Amino acid sequence: MKNNIDRDEAKAVRLELKYCERCGVLWFRERGGGQVYCDRCLPEVRELPAPWKFPHILRLPAESFPEDEGELDVRDIDAMACCTAGGAA
């Protein structure tokens, strides 16, 4: 009896309901399959140019500061020229 169950399980194909990410039609694909487009849209999507790839970490350009300037002293803050006019940003 166990032998028959094993054969039936081997024949079973697990499916999942998926929607096409291009046209939105519902279709079945094998569970865990990576296909995201239906069979009708797949040839058209393959003809599209490859998407741009951005680096994983975007960094803003930064100016390097010389290390020999030393630490900023609190007394130096008063000497700095800054606009103290009132107003809300």
Q: Where are the domains of the chain?
A: 1-50
b/e map 20-32, b = 16+ CB within 10 Å: beeeeeeeeeeee
Q: In this model, does residue 68 exceed pLDDT 60?
A: no
For the chain, percent of residues with pLDDT exceeding 70: 55
pLDDT band at residue 59 using 50, 70 and 90 as cut-offs:
confident
Residue 61's pLDDT is 75
Tokens, residue 41: 């849209």
pLDDT band at residue 22 using 50, 70 and 90 as cut-offs:
very high
